[in-house]
Structure 1
Amino acid sequence: MLDIADELNRWVEEGRDFAVATVVSVGGSAPRGPGAALAVDSHGTAIGSVSGGCVEGAVYDLCVQALQDGTTVLERFGYSDEDAFAVGLTCGGVIEVLVTPVCTDDSTRTDDSTRTDEPVRADALVRADDSVGADAPVFAAWLSAAARGEAVALARVARGPVGLRGSALLVHTDGSYEGGLDAHPELDRTAAAEARAMLDAGRTGTVEISEDGARCPGGVTLFVESSVPPPRMIVFGAVDFAAALVRAGKFLGHHVTVCDARPVFATGARFPEADEVVVDWPHRYLRGTGTDHRTVLCVLTHDAKFDVPLLETALRLPVAYVGAMGSRRTHEDRNRRLREVGVTEGELARLRSPIGLDIGARTPEETALSIAAEIVAARRGGSGVPLTGSRTPIHHDRVTVLATAAG
């Protein structure tokens, strides 16, 4: 849902009622992963996508129905061998979609006679007695925090007792939470603890707990959606290739920093799309700035006086990706220098150099595409080989990178 959080936040601010359908689990070659969402407001306006087109119409109808009767539902879509034209995923995958109404005015109710096939009106909303829609204040708080880029998690009941389905908790990094799932406080505490653990890891997915709040699986399935600040990309070297890589990094959703020790080159005017431009020695900046397991480091200087101290530091950090530009001859010379300053073979094995995938890139834009493709492959576990004629999976389950701190 994070890809439509800004628009949903605007809908909340405008007082619109809406229903949101969120992918909570996938199997096989599903087109989109957990967290993908489609929302429909009370005027019939739709935003987002859960499948890239396969089941959008059916999910739209579920959202309209949810707005009409206030019921949260969990629906499963797969492929039908008996009828290839039936509603389902032609790719052969399976997805489960949680459809939740978010009603800003809970006092507005009607009976079932108001249901029509037309886009539902705000004055035609009903909250069924045996079901539950989202807690609007909790949902609104999560959307607002996500739109601001804060680290929070929304935990919703996807499976469980009917009266519990769709209820939600907003969980913060310190373990505090807003909202509630049930009158049983232990259930809330357990759900908050599980959601916080997923938030700490930046994960979105499901977790099983018991109705009484025990951590063992049974009775309740929570769907936890983590909103975390965008991952960092730090580009070292204010060169022509860096400008193109900044654009690619922003396209991939990174917070992009350009760092160079030369003030004449490291300017905001040269890199207007960067989130920040820093004038400092690269290794000194890297030692003092914040990084995590999602951070991407791209070294484009191919100058030993910058590269060696920078890579000596970078290869010992638990970051997602370390790549360095340069010819194969430059790469061999750089490795020799790094060994001389004590970088181990295990640490050197983490270095991706020459940087990028082999796509025959020549221009800065093509080179940036090559680097971006390698970053995505490293994050998702892709092989980088053409899909045509290969037997590699189209979609990969891995969402975390292999790189870990060496040494």
Structure 2
Amino acid sequence: MREILPALGRWYAEGEPFGLATVVSVSRSAPRGPGAAMAVGPDDEVVGSVSGGCVEGAVFELAKEVLADGEARLQTFGYSDEDAFAVGLTCGGEITLLVRPVSPSADTVFGAVADSVAGHRPVTAATVVDGPAPRGAALAVWTDRVSGSLGSPGLDAAVTADARGGLAQGATGLRHYGPQGQRREDEVSVFLHSFAPPPRMLVFGAIDYAAAVARIGDFLGYRVTVCDARPVFATPKRFPGGVEVVVDWPHRYLDRTETDARTVICVLTHDPKFDVPLLELALRRPAAYIGAMGSRRTHDDRVKRLREAGLDEQRLARLRSPVGLDLGARTPEEVAVSVAAEIVALRWGGSGAPLTATAGAIHPAGAATI
């Protein structure tokens, strides 16, 4: 939903009601994960998507219906041989959608959630999906406050505790409770949609390859910073508009920059005076991915220097070097694709093999949207 929130926030601020369909659960090879969303707004304008185009027509009609009568609906789309010409998912999976009307009167917290996401402030939007609690009731949970209600103080308290517990990881999915928030009951289904700030991508070395990696990182939703000690290369005009450019020694910048378990670090300097001090520091701190560009000879020399700096084999094993998957890439843009492919594969546990050479579900069950 994050990508369509600017449009939704604008409609909400202007008092324009819209129908919002959100994927709340998936099974088997579903094309989109929990949290994917589509909305129908003023003049039948459509933003977002909940599938690969299989069910969007039916969802459009559902959104119009909830706008007309103000009643939220729960709808499941799947596929079976017996019903092959009905609306459904040709991929063989199944998705369940919550379709509800949103306006300042129907949902008093939506605007605050949209503002927090735009300002990179973590927030979880909790919505009742099914059960005796009012379907579509919404509660917004921040680290220091809450707004709205799901229908009972006990349910609000239980959901608030779970939302804050999962907020740091950006965990999104269904939770089940009793009507008063009882942990061992499941009459009430609540969808917790966590909006953690975008993960960071730190790119060191302001070369042509860095510009390409920064572009694809921005496209994938990372908050990208490019750092280089050489001001002649580290100029904003060489990089996309949303990319931060910093002139500083790479290890000095990293030393004062917070990283976490979602941070991606790409070292493209392939110069020992830059990358050895930088990697020594990077490999001692949390990060999802640490990759370094260079030949195999450069890699061997780099690892030797890092060992001499005191890094053990466990830390060295975190280093992805030479950076990227073997795609036969040559141009900066092709290399950026190979780097992005390795990051995505590592993030989701993908093999990097061609899908034609694999078997089983393309989208593994239980994958979470982060």
2:126 is aligned to 155
1:24 is aligned to 24
2:294 is aligned to 326
SS at match of 1:154: strand
1:165 is aligned to 135
Task: Give the partner amino acid of 2:15.
Answer: G
Larger radius of gyration: 1
Superposition TM-score, scaled by structure 2 size:
0.95
Structure 2: segments with no counterpart, 5+ residues: none
SS at match of 2:351: coil
CA distance in 1, matches of 2:226, 2:347: 21
1:186-214 CA-to-partner distances (Å, cap 9, x unmatched) read 22111111112221221111111221222
Query: Whose RCO is larger (CA < 8 A, sep 6+)?
Result: 2
2:309 is aligned to 341
CA distance in 1, matches of 2:229, 2:42: 54
| Correspondence 1:3-402 to 2 at 5 A | 3-104=3-104, 106=105, 135-161=106-132, 164-174=134-144, 176-182=145-151, 184-273=152-241, 275-391=243-359, 393-396=361-364, 397-399=366-368
Task: Give the partner amino acid of 1:293.
Answer: A
Task: Give the partner amino acid of 1:14.
Answer: E
Structure 1: segments with no counterpart, 5+ residues: 107-134, 402-407
CA distance in 2, matches of 1:214, 1:252: 38
Q: 1:288 to 1:43 in 2, by over 3 A?
A: same
User: What is the CA distance between 1:44 and its match in structure 2?
Assistant: 2.3
Whether the 8 Å contact between 2:202 and 2:264 is mirrored in structure 1 is: yes
Q: What is the alpha-carbon root mean square deviation over aligned residues?
A: 1.7
User: What is the CA distance between 1:20 and its match in structure 2?
Assistant: 0.4
Task: Give the partner amino acid of 2:10.
Answer: R
Whether the 8 Å contact between 1:381 and 1:398 is mirrored in structure 2 is: no
Task: Give the partner amino acid of 2:110.
Answer: F
Task: Give the partner amino acid of 1:153.
Answer: T
SS at match of 1:265: coil
1:241-278 CA-to-partner distances (Å, cap 9, x unmatched) read 11111111111111111111222222223335353211
CA distance in 1, matches of 2:266, 2:20: 38
Task: Give the partner amino acid of 2:91.
Answer: C
CA distance in 1, matches of 2:279, 2:11: 46
Whether the 8 Å contact between 2:124 and 2:140 is mirrored in structure 1 is: yes
CA distance in 2, matches of 1:60, 1:26: 19
1:100-126 CA-to-partner distances (Å, cap 9, x unmatched) read 11134x5xxxxxxxxxxxxxxxxxxxx
Q: 1:339 to 1:190 in 2, by over 3 A?
A: same
Whether the 8 Å contact between 1:380 and 1:399 is mirrored in structure 2 is: no
Task: Give the partner amino acid of 1:370.
Answer: S
User: What is the CA distance between 1:42 and its match in structure 2?
Assistant: 5.0
Aligned length: 369
CA distance in 1, matches of 2:304, 2:40: 59
User: What is the CA distance between 1:238 and its match in structure 2?
Assistant: 1.4
The percentage of aligned residue pairs carrying the same residue is 60
1:160-190 CA-to-partner distances (Å, cap 9, x unmatched) read 11x511101011022x2000111x3122111
